[in-house]
Structure 1
Amino acid sequence: MKFFLHCLQLLPLLIIFSLESLLKLFIPKKRKSVTGEIVLITGAGHGIGRLTAYEFAKLKSKLVLWDINKHGIEDTVAECRRLGAKAYAFVVDCSNREDVYNSAKKVKEEIGDVSILVNNAGVVYTSDLFATQDPQIEKTFEVNVLAHFWTTKAFLPVMMKNNHGHIVTTASAAGHVGVPFLLAYCSSKFAAVGFHKALTEELAALEKTGIKTTCLCPNFINTGFIKNPNTA
């Protein structure tokens, strides 16, 4: 009986959501234009970061691409330019706070104010808790979480001044569900999700309605970090 009552309570929500989806099918929401926006993507030398850069390049954004891998980031920039976008490569170690701050200063001086920040850089080590070395645990949190603080602190002030911008947090499905042999990674991605949620609430409390936030939580993807990922 209790289950039946719960189902009845959910029915109005299901009807509303179904009608909303149907409405969006015939009247799609106008897409946000990113033409001419300065977009900074960390970890753009391969994987999700590289593919994200390509999509922004097609939309004629001005791209500032960071990665620790010099050859990888140069290849991404070359392809973005071939797609018709202005793109600039920076070799940056996102685990190093001073490197992030110094690189951010160069970006402002040489290119301009970043209006879309995509915190995408990440690392992962696949091993059980005791086999994971202490420096590997530290590196996981430095790149997957702390770097988000440094980049956001560097670029958010101008966004707040203009009340215009967008901060994207690339987290993971592992930021919602624990996975064995990925203890440090899952913990760091749970923290990344928390960072996004708290930042969103803080911007709302400060009434910075022109600054949007997005949290991406993809499932396991074969980006080279984990060979032949399988969630079965």
Structure 2
Amino acid sequence: MGFSEAIVSVVQVIGALLASVYFALECLVLSLIPRRFRRKDVEGDIVLITGGGSGIGRLMCLKLAARGAKIVTWDVNSAGNDETVKAVKANGGECVAYTVDLCNRNAIYAAAAKVKEEVGKVDILVNNAGIVSGKNFLEVPDHHVERTFNVNVLSHFWTVKAFLPDMMASNKGHVVTVASLAGLAGVNKLVDYCASKFAAVGFDESLKLELMVGGYTGVKTTVICPYYINTGMFDGVRSKLIPILNPEYVASEAVDGILLNTPVVILPGFCRLLIILKLVLPLKGGYMMYRACGGHMTMDDFKGRPVQNGTRLTEKQVLAAQTPNV
């Protein structure tokens, strides 16, 4: 690089820094405007949510349907899927379900083709499905590691490949990645889960930049990074300092993240400060902070949602399994 080119690069960097200050002020001003004035209209939009058969996925289905969106729920659990459809329709919304094994790339592509033919172009894709093992690294069977990556990140590649081209063609759409705070900071007994969620966060960030470079300003991406949520997926988790999140709160904030086109949603918000501390503290200092917050023992009593034949049970099935026959 010649001297003149170096000068141009320095000037560009300074210009970018000044622009960043402007954009930071812009974000501050927008944050002062009540959310109800900034939410986009999704009435009539087709929203596809993976893992919509239970938990946060079902709540997001209900909340987006209440805003007039047409819901498509994908889940490996057909019973849970049917419960979601009934719940949405009972509230006056539109919803169709497809039983899809997100570990199977060909099944994803086949289901995507059926959705396009039977429902229409997907406007908002929410990759919400996730699974967790919750064991020490050496105790996790190899096939569990593979399944974790298949569901938590590789399925995102196949769903986005299936639906993104239509979004790009119209320069309108939204790709949502439900990741985790564990995708920004490692956790004891969650090596495979954290690795998959780090990958999901990286997927979102790289896709976001690729769309911006390509000029697809109308195609938005949002990554949701919540702390532990009080659902069956993390049953038994304990937290010393950070409160375990209420599912309704997480679903509401996730939906608002979509409606406000928020690039990154971290829940609870003050955890942004902990992530910054992780980046600036030396390793030993970061580890002391980790133990002080109780991060080392959160998974000690983990149980998780029961699974039968590779399929997680619905809330009703869990309750039935816990009720003795008399």
The match for 1:105 is 113
Equivalent-residue separation in structure 1 for 2:175 and 2:209 (angstroms): 13
Aligned-partner residue type, residue 126 of structure 1: G
The match for 2:278 is none
Q: Is the 8 A contact 1:220 1:230 kept in 2?
A: no
Decide whether aligned partners of structure 1 residues 20 and 93 sit closer, same or farther in structure 2, where only a CA change above 3 A counts: closer
2:234 aligns to what SS in structure 1? Answer: coil
The match for 2:104 is 96
User: Quick check: 1:223 aligned with 2:231?
Assistant: yes
User: Quick check: 1:213 aligned with 2:221?
Assistant: yes
The match for 1:42 is 50
The match for 2:91 is 83
Equivalent of 2:32 in 13, 22, 25:
25
Q: 1:86: how far off?
A: 1.1
User: Quick check: 1:145 aligned with 2:134?
Assistant: no
Name structure 2 gaps, 5 residues minimum.
1-20, 241-326
1:217 aligns to what SS in structure 2? Answer: strand
Q: 1:21: how far off?
A: 4.4
Equivalent-residue separation in structure 2 for 1:20 and 1:126 (angstroms): 37
2:232 aligns to what SS in structure 1? Answer: coil
Equivalent of 2:175 in 167, 171, 195:
167
Equivalent-residue separation in structure 2 for 1:27 and 1:95 (angstroms): 41
Equivalent-residue separation in structure 1 for 2:111 and 2:27 (angstroms): 44
User: Quick check: 1:60 aligned with 2:65?
Assistant: no
Q: 1:26: how far off?
A: 4.8
Residue deviations 1:28-64 (CA, integer Å, cap 9, x gap) = 5521111000000000011111111111111010011
- Aligned-pair identity in percent equals 48
User: Quick check: 1:116 aligned with 2:124?
Assistant: yes
Equivalent-residue separation in structure 1 for 2:99 and 2:30 (angstroms): 45
Equivalent-residue separation in structure 1 for 2:116 and 2:234 (angstroms): 35
The match for 1:190 is 198
Aligned-partner residue type, residue 32 of structure 2: L
Q: Scaled by the length of structure 2, what TM-score is found?
A: 0.64
Decide whether aligned partners of structure 1 residues 30 and 23 sit closer, same or farther in structure 2, where only a CA change above 3 A counts: closer
The match for 1:179 is 187
Q: 1:223: how far off?
A: 2.0
Aligned-partner residue type, residue 144 of structure 1: N
Decide whether aligned partners of structure 1 residues 132 and 27 sit closer, same or farther in structure 2, where only a CA change above 3 A counts: closer
Q: Is the 8 A contact 1:66 1:90 kept in 2?
A: yes
User: Quick check: 1:73 aligned with 2:81?
Assistant: yes
Q: Runs of 4+ in structure 1 displaced over 4 angstroms?
A: 19-23, 26-29
Which of these two proteins has the greater Rg computed from alpha carbons? 2
**Alignment: residue pair count:** 217
Aligned-partner residue type, residue 212 of structure 1: K
Q: Is the 8 A contact 1:221 1:229 kept in 2?
A: no
Equivalent-residue separation in structure 1 for 2:235 and 2:225 (angstroms): 19
Decide whether aligned partners of structure 1 residues 23 and 211 sit closer, same or farther in structure 2, where only a CA change above 3 A counts: closer
Q: Is the 8 A contact 1:38 1:61 kept in 2?
A: yes
Q: Scaled by the length of structure 1, what TM-score is found?
A: 0.89
The match for 1:130 is 138
Name structure 1 gaps, 5 residues minimum.
1-12
